[in-house]
Chains A and B, each alone.
Chain A
Amino acid sequence: MVALSLERILELMRKPTNIRNVAVFAQKGHGATELMDTLSVSEAHIRCLREPHTCLYPPPPNKQKADMDHPVTVQPTILPLHLKLTEEDLLNIKQEANGPEFLINLFYPPRHIDLTSGVIRNLLATDGALILTNCLDPIPSSTMSALRRVVDERVKPVLVLNQIDRVFEELSLSQEDLYQGFAWTIQSANNVTASCNPSKDIFERVIFDPVQGTVVFASGLHGWAFTLQQFADRYAQKFPVNRAKLVKRLWGNYHFDVTTKSWTERTVDADGQPLARGFNLFVLDPILKLFDAILHFKTDTYEELLRRLEIHLSESEKELSGKPLLRVVLQKFLPASDTLLRTAVLHLPSPVTAQKYRVDTLYGGPMNDECAVGIRNCDPEGPLMMHISKMIRTADKDRFYGLGRIFSGTIRAGARVRIMGPCFKSGSSRDLYIHHIQRLVLLMSSTAEPVGECSAGNVVGVVGIDQFLLQSGTISSSDCADTIKDIHYSITPLVQVKVDAKDSKDLPKLLESLKNLSRMDPLVTTLILETGEHVVAAEGERQLWHLFQDLEGELGEVQIVKSDPFTQYRETVQAESRPALAKSPNKHNRLFMKAMPLGDDVTHAIERGDISPNFDLKSRARIMSDDYEWDNQEARKIWSFGPDSVGPNLLVNCTRGVAYLNEVKESIVAGFQWTTREAVFTEEPMRGCRLNILDVVMSSDAIHRGGGQIIPTARSAIYASTMMARPGIMEPVFDIAISCPERVMANVIKTLVKHRGEVVNEEFYFPQRTGDNLLMVKAVLPVAESFGIQSKLSMATGDQATVIRMAFNHWKLMPGVSNEDPQLIELISSIRRRKGFNEALPALDRFLDRL
């Protein structure tokens, strides 16, 4: 731990070229926590010389024990690290640098990588990422999707093959097997990045290549890590070889012929004897030798090795033997902090470098205004642009620090700034607050240091904005500033649980806690149902489980009652309806409408944002006619998207020559929005419906075609037409991955099938691993059936199967027609019962009028 005075730290912070903001992502169990712990006790960890003012995270009283051990991972924040490079190393930096000292802000990994929100929130503040994965296991899909997001956000990743010690210790694999295993893992990571948007040419394609140094082999637990470069350096110091050339030989199909002392791509020498691969011979072999010698107490051998490797042990360390000794030796031989930080400095971009190519994905406004220029140049003198991506709770639990990255300008305590919430639209005053910054704090692992100002490229905590921003937002000093774009979440919180305070007196407390919950996770929504019940909605059951732990910890004495989890549905149509007529209450207006399926392509395109209501009408029509086979004229007549003006349902005006139509347009659209939000049977939202207005007959008198007459008419017409278009129900489906030994696979599949799951494929984990062959069963499972699936699987397999990942995959149409199929009717009734409606399904003639 290096203790620096605040002045020194601030000095470091003033050089944006020498800052690296790095996120860490790893699947639980892949050693991220251990790695962070290793780094936090390492020399590089910066501690501020002043006494810490606030302790941010005292362990909450009733957390689970596992969480108690690492309270920091409960609420991840930043680990500041310091690295001083030698002159020689400085030359290797391919980007601008200013002096040999570097500040690396390592973001603690999100608590659960399978929860997208955590990943996303770290991404906006960082420019680089360490992707940790087990060196031999297949990359978990959660890590893969995190990696995909990393690349999509133009954050540069480095692959860390972690837990390498276990490979040496536990598995008796040959060196060649290890090499193949590593190569396979790296290749699968490269496959992921290759599939990510290659079109963004400014940002070079991400390829993990050990030769380049973008792959790190690490043992987070034991605190050692290496790259091929390090080995090459060592050999280059001892032997007369070209370092750069040697590195290339250390990976891939290069074999060293000891007898001829030459490199060859062949696997056998002239005599037909197998040759050792460069990696195996020069990298794995020395480490394995150390392992072997120390773990088998061959004192003579390892002392000789230590001498040759120039590892000097202190007196006390010499006393050690076995594993502790091995640990010490390897930490000296290949210190993890040094390797990782060096990699970060050399291979990850500084804010100055990164913001040049990130500005157009980051900034929502025009690319030539002063804010965009400031961001592009990472200019500390430019207008202030800061994005708050996370709310971090203060120790006293009352307030939140807004943690954010400064992209441009300098933020000063006491300055008056514009705070823009997520609903802010340029030019309006909606969700815009002008307020002063109360205080600024540097978040350094678990302490908060007050500072006066902070400049571009840094990450800082802001006090006094939690009252304006719930989760995220932009802070700027410029009047013309638009927002830093929040990352769009494609996931809706599907799993919901009702909560209520046992005693109605505790309601205010519950509300406050619910608010704090949604602060801490952008994918958690807390709302109130029409029945007046509070609902916490999250991505999955597991997230909810964590949420409730937080909630209960926060509420303390207050007792809450929670319901069983339930999920959302969508209503859709499966065929084209005949024209439906609805008359207005005063019978003076008639509306003819027709419902038809929108088609999967268009529905997905709208959900992805490929077709958006914000597009220019003509270009949207062009896209729709070119790519989705829409009639260009019809595509221009799309009146509205719904629900909430963005959803995957379209209202299309197919009328011809109707007078005054523009007068009632807003009323019809209002009715459409309402209906798509609350569909006819379940009052769940609609999805994938296209509604055509065929004809409108209007009262000739303006007073009789007001909203009051038209809105209910539009509603009835839409209800009637959807009811005649073979209405269907869509349910959300999870993508589920289960790991289990081969022999219980049949039980796993049986359990899945029993719950309407469909197995997609099953594949072996790294098959060479001895013992039980572990299988990964991938399946899709309806969300409604996923509740408690882990315990059901455990029961069926005797605790052998584990759910590794569950994430929303798609909406699946349930078989049958909503108001005909008895099973669907049963489902609809149950939803209606839950919502407190009359259980009977509404009949068509309530909405359909006759001429």
Chain B
Amino acid sequence: MSNSLSGPSNFADDGSAVIGRHLDVHHFKLASESQDKIKSCTDIYEIDRTVSAIKERGYKRIALQFPDDLLQDSGLVAQLIRDQTGSAVFILADTSYGSCCVDEVAAQHISADAIIHYGRSCQSPTSRLPVIYVFGKQPVDVQDCAATFDGFFGKDKAQKAVLMYDVIYSHCIDQLLATLQSEMHYTNIVKSRVETESNLGYVLSDSKTNGALNSGCCQKKESCCSTSSSTEAATGCCSSEAAKSDYDQCTNSSGCRTATSTSSTQQLVVEDDNSEHTKKRRRFGRTYDLPVGDQIEDYTLFYVGDESPTLSNIMMTHSKCDVYSYNPETKKGRLESAQVNRALMRRYFLVQKAKDADVIGIAVGTLGVASYMTMIKHLKALIESKGKKAYTFVMGKLNVAKMANFMEIDCFVYVACPENSLIDSKEFYRPIVTPFELEIALSKSREWNGDYVTDFQQLLPDEDKIGVDKIKISQTQLDAASDDEDYSDKDSDEDDRPHFSLVTGQFKQSKRYTTNSEDTKELSALIQGTTDLTVRNKNTSVATLMSSAAGEYLQSREFRGLEVALGESPVELATEGRAGIARGYRTEDGYGEREKEKY
């Protein structure tokens, strides 16, 4: 979240953006301070594991993605990897979106075979390239952590708890689990897992769609592999780290293997096997298996790590569970749940605001998270089916100034990875909601009941989930929806009615922007009719506004651009205009000096 707010803002509420940015560096202090830099680098950045994975699969072009605060070590890491593998190594500078997301687009610019992602990761499933996650290892005092855990749950050794953790502490979770189970005799502890590698091998909770999923991703994989021009890449890639369980092994490997039918059937079998006695949950890259018959509501969450978007994400999505956290830095544990309600209620307020919005901007905040395109299409269909207007924005990282340029938008919906999409939009001119919140606001089938979904994968209808070639389906759905509207008078009647807006305490009438067939018919009629004579209206304009929200807004503005004063101002010869960039055009004073400074 901090990254998304790092844009210029002169009235940040509490400066948390700045503080947030420095937190990560803190963790990696070893890297910068240690005498033996290479050694610690190798250790922290898991050079060995990375190198062996690369070698195993023969990746030739590797993209390294560092968060901004780790860029200082990037040179060394790149050098180490290059030296040990001989592959071409690229460091991706400035990520397009949040640094927790894998920036596949940037990697594709250099035709990379694989991405190695460093630092904190949101574990969003990706669709294009194989990814190796290197979280960096941070020390945890396992005994102290276990003691803290015991302090919370000491009364009941059968306490049902799920262990969650910040990815940077993933390396010692097994140890912690063992300590808790063997030394402290806790019986009902479930460990969540994170994936250290991904190429579309994400697991869906619904095992039935898995077959389709795998075939889908394997096709992709094929194309991936062909570019990598290595046949070896097709052979198994289970790293020792990843092979924590059969289950993990299978999911990971099947993703990387070539599309042999055996592997996918094998996985299917395992899946079915698993689903018989466990209930899998996957949320933002974390998987945990609950014994059959147990609900997550029965469990308490124990999170290892300090305050971070990950933690707030976990709390939001598990709002019915108590969440305890242990901060390995300060070695302190606390109950976190108290503030989560506040955050949730704040989101609830945003939902109410979104309900009142007539014009909704879809801000694209990721090009990496799988099926984001489907999501956008889905949102568009949803918005339009409600007679509202949708505009799509691709604007990289959000900042206040950028967003406030679009005053005609009543509300933005931000399609991004789970950790980035929760934007506290207090500073923004318009509220920014998540796709889930927009669904609640617009669709009658969903209601706010305290459950929260940040991962938009869970929002899409099942058949849309895979994200390939499913756009057509959503289009037909849209058509079906609009057909419904046309034929059932009652339904459209329903939509005509104002709704009770909680923001104003009054009825709010929705504007209707028709974007469907009728309008297009009209438009095409207009285009065909352009040869005919058109009656000019008073303002001597022949333009027609086609239910365009922006056009309507322009009409209501006082200033509408330069005034056309045809015949009133004398005709002048064209002269050369300004050149250069906005922070100082060449015609402006001091340009020359700045240029000199540059060189």
Contacts and interface: CB of A to CB of B under 8 A. Distances in A.
Given A529-B349, A716-B10, A846-B10, A467 B404 contact: no
A526 interface: yes
A532 B345 contact: yes
A527 B503 contact: yes
B10 A582 contact: yes
Contacts of B509: 421, 423, 430-431, 433
B550 to A, nearest CB: 13
Residue among A508, A526, A530 with max Cβ neighbours from chain B (10 Å): A530
Contacts of A704: 582
Interface stretch (A351-359, A707-715, A727-735, A785-793): A707-715
Nearest to B320: A504
A527 B429 contact: no
B400 A470 contact: no
B400 A585 contact: yes
Contacts of B448: 507
B502 interface: yes
A251 interface: no
Interface stretch (A98-106, A568-576, A663-671): A663-671
A531 B345 contact: yes
B10 A468 contact: no
A511 B351 CA distance: 14
A533 B502 CA distance: 10
A514 B582 CA distance: 52
Contacts of B406: 707
Given A467-B497, A470-B507, A712-B404, A585 B8 contact: yes
A468 B507 contact: yes
A712 B502 contact: no
Given A533-B345, A715-B11, A838-B14, A528 B352 contact: yes
B127 to A, nearest CB: 32
B505 A526 contact: yes
Contacts of B426: 530
Contacts of A433: 496-498, 509
B547 interface: no
B433 interface: no
A531 B407 contact: no
Given A532-B347, A712-B404, A527 B10 contact: no
Contacts of B447: 507-508
B342 interface: yes
Contact of B404 (A529, A588, A707): A707
A835 to B, nearest CB: 11
A486 to B, nearest CB: 12
Interface in A483-526: 504-505, 507-508, 511, 514-515, 518, 525-526
Main secondary structure of the interface of A (DSSP, over half): mixed
B537 interface: no
A699 B426 CA distance: 27
A516 to B, nearest CB: 10
B11 to A, nearest CB: 6
A800 to B, nearest CB: 39
A22 B498 CA distance: 33
B278 interface: no
A423 B399 CA distance: 34
Interface string B392-419: 0000000111111111000000000000
B505 A712 contact: no
A849 interface: yes
A58 B10 CA distance: 59
Interface string A443-485: 0000000000000000000000001111000000000000000
Given A505-B449, A528-B503, A707-B407, A712 B557 contact: no
B334 interface: no
A837 B402 CA distance: 24
B599 interface: no
A662 interface: yes
Interface in B448-507: 448-450, 496-498, 500, 502-507
Interface in B369-401: 399-401
A587 to B, nearest CB: 8
Contact of B507 (A469, A507, A716, A838): A469
Contacts of B496: 433
Interface in A251-297: none
Nearest to B12: A846
Nearest to B509: A431
Contact of B13 (A514, A525, A663, A837): A837
B169 interface: no
B346 interface: yes
Contacts of A304: none
B506 A847 contact: no
A468 B349 contact: no
A382 to B, nearest CB: 28
B497 A468 contact: yes
A666 B449 contact: no
A519 to B, nearest CB: 9
A302 interface: no
Interface in B62-108: none
B34 interface: no
A706 B14 contact: no
A54 B239 CA distance: 76
A515 B352 CA distance: 14
A518 B399 CA distance: 37
Contact of A712 (B9, B450, B498, B504): B9
Contacts of A662: 558-559
Nearest to A582: B10
Interface string A525-547: 11111111110000000000000
B307 to A, nearest CB: 15
A489 to B, nearest CB: 13
A846 B497 contact: no
A421 B400 contact: no
Interface in A580-596: 582-586, 588
B349 A504 contact: no
Interface string A814-849: 000000000000000000000011100000001101
B506 A422 contact: yes
Contacts of A508: 447
B502 A534 contact: yes
Contacts of B7: 585
A703 interface: yes
A422 B506 CA distance: 9
A510 B557 CA distance: 39
A514 B505 CA distance: 9
A673 to B, nearest CB: 11
A586 B346 CA distance: 30
B153 interface: no
A712 B405 contact: no
A670 B582 CA distance: 25
A706 B404 CA distance: 8
Nearest to B346: A532
B28 interface: no
The interface centre, meaning the residue of A469, A528, A531, A704 with most chain B CB atoms within 10 A of its CB, is A528
Interface in A663-722: 663, 665-667, 670, 674, 699, 701, 703-704, 706-709, 711-713, 715-716, 719
Interface of A: 421-423, 430-431, 433, 467-470, 504-505, 507-508, 511, 514-515, 518, 525-534, 582-586, 588, 662-663, 665-667, 670, 674, 699, 701, 703-704, 706-709, 711-713, 715-716, 719, 836-838, 846-847, 849
Given A532-B342, A708-B402, A716-B10, 4 more contacts: A586-B8, A711-B404, A713-B10, A838-B13
18 contacts: A433-B497, A433-B509, A470-B507, A507-B448, A518-B505, A528-B349, A531-B345, A532-B346, A584-B401, A585-B400, A670-B429, A706-B404, A708-B401, A708-B404, A709-B401, A709-B404, A711-B429, A837-B13
Q: Considering the complex of A and B, which 4 residue pairs feature the smallest CB-CB distances, nearest first?
A: A532-B345, A585-B8, A708-B405, A708-B401
Interface of B: 7-14, 342, 344-349, 352, 399-407, 426, 429, 447-450, 496-498, 500, 502-507, 509, 557-559, 582, 585
